[in-house]
Structure 1
Amino acid sequence: MPETVRTTITLVVLAVLVALAAVWGWNAATDSLPAKVDRPVCVDTEVEAGDRLYPQQVTVSVYNASDRSGLAGRTMRDLEDAGFAEGRTGDAARTKVGEVAIWSTEPAGPAVRLVASYLGDVDIERREGLGPGVTVVVGKDFGRPGEGERYVEVAEAATVCGPAVD
């Protein structure tokens, strides 16, 4: 086979490979990206009587009912440092809270008792929370969460809103 024919065949094969690579690259570059799957902030988990409930199993949301900027965020960081899972933070400016309150539809539940152990003299109100998990509402007189219980014993079966686990 003459060298010119061999060179021509080689160039044609290389041109076809470059064209195929260009088509594949264009399709890959213009293909839509996979959709982001939002994980739930918390999922309901059943705990049985006699179980121990730890901060890592409880999601907490913190809302600021004062004019102190950043109070909810700082309180959330402190509770996260204690092991609680992060829910939501925000303002509850139209709410009157002296120091700190917990809002929950299950005020005697184990998650509420555990969170309350970190907050000192806390008012616990039976009402819908503002965010997922246990809702903590901090007022202008609130300082910082303190040392709380490492866990609480579950007295009777309950549902706890805790972090989603992969």
Structure 2
Amino acid sequence: MTQPMRTALTLVALGVLLVLAALWGWNAAMKPLPAKVDSAVCVDTDVAAGEKVYPQQVTVSVYNAGRREGLAGRTMQLLTDEGFAKGNAGNAASAKVSTIAIWTTTPKNPDVRLVASYFDHPKIERRDGPGAGVTVIVGDGFKTLAKGAGAARAASDATICSPPVT
């Protein structure tokens, strides 16, 4: 085979490789990115009777039922500063709460009692809350947290919503 023939064959082979690489690159670039995997805000955790529950084990969600802008976010920050895990936050404009309410289906659970200890006379209502964990609804009358308990002891076996272990 002559030198010009080898050069031409080499250029054709390299051209084919370039086209194949370009097609592969285009195909890879046009594929959708993998979806973000949402991790759970909290997971159900069993607590035995007599066991203590600490703020780090409790997920709290806060909703603003008042007209004060950012009240839920500020309240959430106060609770996370005390060690509680951050749940959901948002507005609950349709809720009729003047100061503070806790919505839960398990009012005697240690996580609910622990969260309630950080508020002055919260109204604990037996109902589903919109958020994960213990749902706190704050109204315009809410000012600041009370000196809460460091832990709450479970009076009986219970299930609480704790932050996932990562």
User: Same fold judged by TM-score > 0.5?
Assistant: yes
What is the percentage of aligned positions where both structures have the same residue? 58
Code of the residue aligned with 2:138 in structure 1: it is V
Distance 1:8 1:147, change over 3 A: farther
Q: Distance in 1 between matches of 2:5 and 2:75?
A: 78
TM-score, normalization by structure 1: 0.86
The equivalent residue for 1:151 is 151
Please give the secondary structure, in 1, of the residue aligned with 2:7.
helix
Code of the residue aligned with 1:20 in structure 2: it is L
Q: C-alpha displacement at 1:21, in angstroms? A: 0.7
Q: C-alpha displacement at 1:40, in angstroms? A: 2.7
Q: Does 1:76 align with 2:98?
A: no
Q: Distance in 2 between matches of 1:18 and 1:55?
A: 60
> What is the number of equivalent residue pairs in this alignment?
166
Task: Please give the per-residue CA displacement for 1:27-51, whole angstroms capped at 9, x wherever unaligned.
Answer: 1012232233322332222111233
Q: Does 1:41 align with 2:41?
A: yes
Q: C-alpha displacement at 1:52, in angstroms? A: 2.7
The equivalent residue for 2:23 is 23
Between 151-160 and 68-77, the greater mean CA deviation after superposition: 151-160
Code of the residue aligned with 2:87 in structure 1: it is G
RMSD: 2.0
Q: Distance in 1 between matches of 2:32 and 2:141?
A: 51
Q: C-alpha displacement at 1:94, in angstroms? A: 3.4
Code of the residue aligned with 1:150 in structure 2: it is G
Unpaired runs of at least 5, structure 1: none
Q: Distance in 2 between matches of 1:30 and 1:91?
A: 39
Q: Does 1:117 align with 2:117?
A: yes
Distance 1:23 1:94, change over 3 A: closer
Q: Distance in 2 between matches of 1:6 and 1:81?
A: 74
The aligned runs of 1:101-140 (5 Å cut-off) are: 101-140=101-140
TM-score, normalization by structure 2: 0.86
Q: C-alpha displacement at 1:146, in angstroms? A: 4.0
Which 4+ stretches in 1 moved above 6 angstroms? none
Q: Distance in 2 between matches of 1:90 and 1:35?
A: 24
Q: C-alpha displacement at 1:101, in angstroms? A: 1.6
Please give the secondary structure, in 1, of the residue aligned with 2:87.
strand
Between 135-144 and 86-95, the greater mean CA deviation after superposition: 86-95
Code of the residue aligned with 2:48 in structure 1: it is E
